[in-house]
């Protein structure tokens, strides 16, 4: 090896030794931290968000006191188990009431008179069959009773206690009678139909779904001979009874003449149909005049009615005077499903071509017309065994119709000149 190579090797060795001396020694590994004894600590749960402060409510609204019950007395008079019985509904209050004057709504409960029996027999429930008993309020039998008036109806108890139940009607049994409908279980509010309700709105007395008669005990006595004879003879009266009846009727007529005539009772809750038409109608000619008519039940009870476009008539005021359409007539051509029940506030609308109702001779002259509709509800539903709303509803506000063109000219006559009055000489000079 040459001397230069030896010197280079020595220098490299010296450089490596110096570098190793300058580097720091490797750090000793840190000892592991001792594990804490006991269960592992858990992180604290975040605090629940605070609820907003409750809004302070004002004082509770005081509840309105309940309405008083109607002062209506309901009674069943049963002189004998075999004879005719009588139902009475008497208005002993100071306000008029509306009641269903229909004995078919009566229900009887016949209980044994021996109340000391260890195991008394179950009461016999008697009522008219479903096909005979009205399912709802019998509108055709609605009666308004003024204060001091009553409704009286005689009936045969065998109409209700029929067949084997008839044997329960004997002397000594207890009879309980109700008129109307039971209140549905868990009902929070009394709903129609009502056995009695007031005629005022808002209501001043509480309506009732049912009237209960005082409990009676049937007598063992046979029916009165006069009543039995009348029943055997088919209800016929002899000459003496006829004379007495005529005298009573004459006395009642004379008494009615002396008494002042009472004002009719107004049932403010009754259904009432009102109509309203569109305020304007702009048409190119008379063939296209269409008016929208809306019928609304403005009363406070539902109304069953058949409402058709053919039942609408019009009063038309135009350039040639006043024209009235023919009034609709009852046809009895409406099926049962054609009658619609309108709840209070409910309405139905229909669009009518006026010329179809009044003929093509209308609107022949261009110009402005004033049209007032009327709705004639003439279908009573009597042929179907229902009681529908009937009456005439007239529109309060007219519909203004503007016709742009027609077969006749706008002016009915040619223009004419008129003579003007000559001005006074003094007035002319002063000017």
Shared domain for 92 and 174, answered yes or no, is yes
Asked if residue 14 belongs to a domain, the reply is no
- Beta strands of 39-173 (E only): which ranges? 72-77, 85-91, 97-100, 106-111, 124-127, 142-145, 150-155
Three-state secondary structure call for residue 259: coil
The total of other beta-carbon atoms located within 10 Å of residue 367's CB is 17
Question: What pLDDT, on a 0 to 100 scale, did the predictor assign at position 232?
Answer: 45
Shared domain for 219 and 89, answered yes or no, is yes
131 and 123 Cβ atoms separated by less than 8 Å = no
Q: Residue 348's beta-bridge partner residues?
A: 295
Shared domain for 208 and 278, answered yes or no, is no
CA-CA distance, 112 to 122, in Å (whole number)? 8
Shared domain for 309 and 372, answered yes or no, is yes
Q: Produce one character per residue of 278-308: b if its CB has 16 or more CB atoms within 10 Å, e if not.
A: beebebeebeebebebebbbebbbbbbbbbb
Asked if residue 350 belongs to a domain, the reply is yes
Q: Which residues of the chain have pLDDT under 70?
A: 1-61, 225-245, 252-259, 424-431
- What are the tokens at 84? 């005719």
Asked if residue 390 belongs to a domain, the reply is yes
Shared domain for 77 and 215, answered yes or no, is yes
Question: What pLDDT, on a 0 to 100 scale, did the predictor assign at position 349?
Answer: 96
CATH number, domain with residue 153: 2.60.40
Asked if residue 322 belongs to a domain, the reply is yes
Question: What pLDDT, on a 0 to 100 scale, did the predictor assign at position 236?
Answer: 46
CA-CA distance, 196 to 185, in Å (whole number)? 20
Q: Residue 174's beta-bridge partner residues?
A: 111, 217
- In angstroms, what is the C-alpha Rg of the chain? 47
Shared domain for 106 and 211, answered yes or no, is yes
Shared domain for 304 and 161, answered yes or no, is no
What pLDDT digit, counting tens, does each position of 374-387 carry?
999 999 998 888 88
Asked if residue 287 belongs to a domain, the reply is yes
Q: Which of 319, 328, 320 is nearest to 352 (CA)?
A: 328
Question: What pLDDT, on a 0 to 100 scale, did the predictor assign at position 113?
Answer: 83
Domain count, the chain: 2
Shared domain for 165 and 95, answered yes or no, is yes
Dihedral, CA atoms, 72, 74, 75, 76, nearest 10 degrees? 160
Asked if residue 234 belongs to a domain, the reply is no
Question: What pLDDT, on a 0 to 100 scale, did the predictor assign at position 400?
Answer: 96
The range of the structural domain enclosing residue 368 comes to 273-403
Tokens 């009165």 found at: 224
What pLDDT digit, counting tens, does each position of 399-408 carry?
999 999 999 9
Shared domain for 108 and 206, answered yes or no, is yes
Asked if residue 19 belongs to a domain, the reply is no
Question: What pLDDT, on a 0 to 100 scale, did the predictor assign at position 239?
Answer: 58
Asked if residue 244 belongs to a domain, the reply is no
Question: What pLDDT, on a 0 to 100 scale, did the predictor assign at position 91?
Answer: 96
Shared domain for 359 and 290, answered yes or no, is yes
Shared domain for 81 and 206, answered yes or no, is yes
Dihedral, CA atoms, 100, 104, 107, 110, nearest 10 degrees? 140
* pTM listed for this prediction: 0.70
Shared domain for 352 and 293, answered yes or no, is yes
Helix (H) or strand (E) holding 250: helix 239-258
The total of other beta-carbon atoms located within 10 Å of residue 92's CB is 11
């Amino acid at each position: 090896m040459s001397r230069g190579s030896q010197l280079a090797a020595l220098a490299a060795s010296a450089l490596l030794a110096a570098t190793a001396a300058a580097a720091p020694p490797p750090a000793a590994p840190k000892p592991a931290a001792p594990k804490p004894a006991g269960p592992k600590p858990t992180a604290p749960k975040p605090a629940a968000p605070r609820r907003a402060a409750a809004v302070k409510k004002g004082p509770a609204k005081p509840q309105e006191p309940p309405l008083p019950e109607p002062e209506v007395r309901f009674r069943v008079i049963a002189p004998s188990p075999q004879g005719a019985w009588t139902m009475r509904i008497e208005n002993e209050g100071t306000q008029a009431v509306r009641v269903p004057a229909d004995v078919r709504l009566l229900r009887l409960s016949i209980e044994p008179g021996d109340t000391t029996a260890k195991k008394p027999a179950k009461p016999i429930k008697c009522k008219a069959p479903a096909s005979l008993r009205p399912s709802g309020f019998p509108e055709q039998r609605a009666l308004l009773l003024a204060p001091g008036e009553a409704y009286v109806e005689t009936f045969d108890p065998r109409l209700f206690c029929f067949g084997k139940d008839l044997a329960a009607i004997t002397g000594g049994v207890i009879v309980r009678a109700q008129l109307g409908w039971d209140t549905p279980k868990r009902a929070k509010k009394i709903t129609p139909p009502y056995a009695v309700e007031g005629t005022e709105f808002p209501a001043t007395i509480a309506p009732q779904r049912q009237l209960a008669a005082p409990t009676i005990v049937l007598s063992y006595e046979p029916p009165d001979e006069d009543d039995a004879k009348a029943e055997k003879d088919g209800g016929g009266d002899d000459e003496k009874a006829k004379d007495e009846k005529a005298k009573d009727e004459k006395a009642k007529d004379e008494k009615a003449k002396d008494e002042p005539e009472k004002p009719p009772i107004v049932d403010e809750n009754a259904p009432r149909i009102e109509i309203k038409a569109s305020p304007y109608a702009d048409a190119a000619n008379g063939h296209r005049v269409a008016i929208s008519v809306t019928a609304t039940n403005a009363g406070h009870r539902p109304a069953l009615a058949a409402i058709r476009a053919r039942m609408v008539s019009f009063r038309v005021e135009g350039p040639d005077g006043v024209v009235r359409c023919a009034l609709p007539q009852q046809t009895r051509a409406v099926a049962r499903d054609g009658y619609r029940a309108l709840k209070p506030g409910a309405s139905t609308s229909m669009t009518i071509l006026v010329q179809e109702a009044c003929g093509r001779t209308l609107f022949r002259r261009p110009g402005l017309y004033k049209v007032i509709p009327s709705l004639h509800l003439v279908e009573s539903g009597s042929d179907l065994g229902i009681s529908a709303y009937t009456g005439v509803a007239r529109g309060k506000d007219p519909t203004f119709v503007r016709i742009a063109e027609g077969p006749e000219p706008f002016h009915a006559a040619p223009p004419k000149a008129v003579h003007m009055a000559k001005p006074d000489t003094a007035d002319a000079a002063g000017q």
